[in-house]
Structure 1
Amino acid sequence: MKEFNICIDIDGTITDPYYWLSPANRYFNRNVKPEQVTQYSIDQILGVSRKEYIEFYNKNKFIMHDREKIRGDARNIICKLFNISNIYFVTARDKDLEILTYNYLNRYKIPYDELLLLGSPYKVKVAEKLECDVFIEDSPENAIQLSQSGFKVILLDTNYNRQVSDDNVFRVFNWNGVYEIIEKMLLQSKVV
């Protein structure tokens, strides 16, 4: 029986963090580059109202999420981790994206134990319920909330989360870095 519980966000974590940028640039007639995305509030990056961005997102979310590219080595590392731990995908996506999300994970042959679509960015209660040992995330707000609630967080580096610094947050630049940290955690847990 696997005893180590890994919670993983989806958008920007297993997928390209700037998946929304090209369609948003076309829709709003902008030319924002990934290096200009230095904060998590997409509407502010694009210079549009929150209402305008939500309208764009609701019109385009099925196509955007279906076409998201997977991050390099994410699938291979998750497959390795699945052999030694429980994998829970915990996403802020709304329930109306449930079938699309199952299909996406299946298309890329990504193994997991459970998929939870919260419809909210707040993930602490679910992490507690799942007895999460480590949470893999890209959102700066989620990383801080989880860290301050006592969870270890592996933060995949992006232009919009560089300001995050906390004792429980481990920054990595790719999925190989994720594996290295989890491997150390597993070794330490066997020693204790």
Structure 2
Amino acid sequence: MKIALDVDGVLADVIQSWLNYSNSIRQEIQKHEIIDWDFWKKFEIDRYDFYAELSSCWKNWTSIPPTEENLASITKNLSDIGQVDIVTARERSTDSFVKNWLKYHNISFDNYVSVIHGPMKADLDYDVFIDDSPLNASKFLENKKKVILYSQPWNQHITENKIHRISNLSEAIQKLN
């Protein structure tokens, strides 16, 4: 089994790091208020500023918390089920920081695959995608791919029956077994 595992929002809580930065320079936003993928529009934040700031957070990768505890053992157990590849969409300049973060947190994976835009992941040859993006989830379904959606405030509106929703990564292991 080939498993595509996302980083931002599934393994790394980079949005929390971004919130820490953003809240120091503009109106305060709480994570639970981020209920849309393109939430920056609601808060009148320029899209390019948001993405630049998010990429900048990765430069300080040691400050990015994991989404949950015990990710090292959970990803090891996931690797026992099949090939686990980190499949992420990001600015290429952040790849080395992400790889450092993965190594620092002892995340088990076979390959690191970076694409330019999230929906491009759906064109890759994986049996299942574990992701938090509602845009990616829709594209995976369009391409008849299996989706495990990691619950975040920005994907709660997704109710498609063919999507398996999880609130922690251990639940993915149960679903895949």
Q: TM-score, normalised by structure 1?
A: 0.82
Q: What RMSD in Å do the two structures reach over aligned CA positions? A: 1.8
The yes-or-no answer on 1:178 pairing with 2:172 is yes
Match in the other structure for 1:156: 150
Shift of 1:44: 1.8
Match in the other structure for 1:69: 65
What are the residue-to-residue correspondences of 1:8-27 with 2, within 5 Å?
8-16=5-13, 18-19=15-16, 20-27=18-25
Give the distance between the partners of 1:95 and 1:66, measured in 2 at CA: 18
Match in the other structure for 1:30: 27
- Comparing 148-157 with 37-46, greater Cα deviation is found at 37-46
User: For each residue in 1:117-148, what CA deviation from the matched residue of structure 2 results, as whole angstroms up to 9, or x when unmatched?
Assistant: 1122221112x3xxx11100000110111122
Shift of 1:161: 0.2
Give the distance between the partners of 1:170 and 1:71, measured in 2 at CA: 18
Q: Where does the alignment leave 5 or more consecutive residues of structure 1 unmatched?
A: 184-192
Shift of 1:57: 3.7
Q: Does the CA-based 8 Å contact 2:2-2:127 persist in structure 1?
A: yes
Q: Does the CA-based 8 Å contact 1:89-1:116 persist in structure 2?
A: yes
Q: Does the CA-based 8 Å contact 2:14-2:65 persist in structure 1?
A: no
Tell me the number of residue pairs that the alignment of Structure 1 and Structure 2 aligns.
Answer: 174
Q: TM-score, normalised by structure 2?
A: 0.89
Give the letter aligned to residue 114 of structure 1.
N
Q: Does the CA-based 8 Å contact 2:6-2:88 persist in structure 1?
A: yes
Shift of 1:54: 3.7
Give the distance between the partners of 1:16 and 1:164, measured in 2 at CA: 20
Q: Does the CA-based 8 Å contact 1:94-1:120 persist in structure 2?
A: no
Give the letter aligned to residue 71 of structure 1.
T
Higher Rg of the two aligned structures: 1
Q: Is the alpha carbon distance of 1:46 and 1:66 closer, same or farther for their aligned partners in structure 2, counting shifts above 3 Å?
A: farther
